[in-house]
Amino acid sequence: MTASAGSRKVTIVEVGPRDGLQNEERFVPSDVKVAFVDALSSSGLPAIEVTAFVSPRKIPQLADGDAVFPRVRKRPGVRYLVLVPNEKGLERALRAGVREIAVFTAASDGFNRRNTNASIEESFVRFRPVLEVASAEGVRVRGYVSCVFGCPYEGAVSPARVAEVAARLWAIGCREISLGDTTGVGVPSQVPEVVGRTVEAGVPVEGLALHFHDTRGTALANVCESLREGVRIFDASAGGFGGCPYAPGASGNLATEDLVHLLHGMGYETGVDLSRVAAATRMLQPSLGRQPASRVWHALASTAAVPSPAD
Ligand code: HMG
Ligand code: MG
């Protein structure tokens, strides 16, 4: 048990506009992306990852990030993040007016090479100038570690390796570390060791986020175990869309609707209006041409409890 284990306040980092859209077959028009983010921020979500300034050849679905980010309505008190892999991405972010970026690496070299054409070590070489400029510009930095419960290319991943990479990100100046179950292989019994070792290695549990994909239906069980370990920040994607194109079989992120329902039912406070998140998902869904994975979304839709984003 940690100090934050008694706190009832949970922060949700909405990654739908980035992780949710990056692996979709259809390109979502920029206008819809802007409206989606605005609808999400109207729900009370405190942090939204808007897009990624990565190679447009690698992730064509988010090639319009430079145009989308400046058009998003910036509500006071809401964090608007973008994913940045290198200096070029940071330059684009600064031009677009970004005040918080997220850098990303992995606990497995095999995955990191396929995702970013770099070993873990090489990714830290890329981060150095990014962190230097971000610090000089007063830009906050979040750090992701992918494949913390297993890797599609290397199999088992050691919690000690996860902790080492996470602590290194913290040491270079990342002020929130998100541990990603990229392909949704994790089960609750893995959570205490991964969280415990990461905290022991120097990342305060207050700065630790868990990022679950619900590929095998274990995401909410993993959230419950993380709550017991004192974690109070979770990433989620409206509707449960999402996945990484460089992780075969990585289907949707944990749905924001499912997470909010669970947390509120358990007496945690998020400040998020569930029906408004569901409205944002309903607004986005025709552009994707497929049904959301979120079970709570479907439960709400079947009782007509999903308002339109304008309501
Ligand atoms: P590279 O090929 O090694 O880089 O890619 P490069 O520096 O040699 O550049 C190659 C080309 O890309 C050049 O263009 C660059 O200008 C361009 P060319 O001269 O050939 O026309 N380029 C860029 N263009 C725009 N913005 C940039 C940029 N950088 C280079 N920032 C790189 C390395 C990392 C850039 C590439 O591999 C890449 O963009 N990968 C993106 C991977 C990605 O976005 N994956 C999904 C996100 S991670 C994830 O989903 C996991 C997470 O959700 C957590 C979890 O679930 O675990 C976060
Ligand atoms: Mg992800």
Nearest CA owner, ligand 1 atom 10: 55
List pLDDT tens digits, range 170-194.
999 999 999 999 999 999 999 999 9
Nearest CA owner, ligand 1 atom 30: 55
Provide residues with CB under 6 Å of ligand 1: 19, 22, 52-56, 58-59, 83, 85-86, 88-89, 92, 104, 115-117, 144, 146, 180, 182, 211, 244, 246
Instruction: Tell me if 26 is assigned to some domain.
Output: yes
pLDDT value, residue 1: 47
Instruction: Tell me if 308 is assigned to some domain.
Output: no
Question: Does the pLDDT of residue 303 top 80, yes or no?
Answer: yes
Give pTM, 2 decimals: 0.96
Instruction: Tell me if 253 is assigned to some domain.
Output: yes
Instruction: Tell me if 307 is assigned to some domain.
Output: no
Instruction: Tell me if 288 is assigned to some domain.
Output: yes
Mean of pLDDT values over 69-79: 98
What CATH code is carried by the domain that includes residue 234? 3.20.20.70
pLDDT value, residue 5: 63
pLDDT value, residue 52: 98
pLDDT value, residue 244: 76
Instruction: Tell me if 279 is assigned to some domain.
Output: yes
Catalytic residue among 147, 151, 174, 244: 244
The whole-angstrom separation of Cα 177 and Cα 34 is 26
pLDDT value, residue 136: 98
Number of domains in the chain: 1
Residue ranges making up the domain that contains 280? 3-302
* 3-class SS letters over the chain: CCHHHHCCECEEEECHHHHHCCCCCCCCCHHHHHHHHHHHHCCCCCEEEEEECCCCCCCHHHCCHHHHHHHCCCCCCCEEEEECCCHHHHHHHHHHCCCEEEEEEECCHHHHHHHHCCCHHHHHHHHHHHHHHHHHHCCEEEEEEECCCCECCCECCCHHHHHHHHHHHHHCCCCCEEEEECCCCCCHHHHHHHHHHHHHCCCCHHHEEEEEECCCCCHHHHHHHHHHCCCCEEEEEHHHCCCCCCCCCCCCECEHHHHHHHHHHCCCECCCCHHHHHHHHHHHHHHHCCCCCCHHHHHHHHCCCCCCCCC
Mean of pLDDT values over 116-143: 98
Instruction: Tell me if 250 is assigned to some domain.
Output: yes
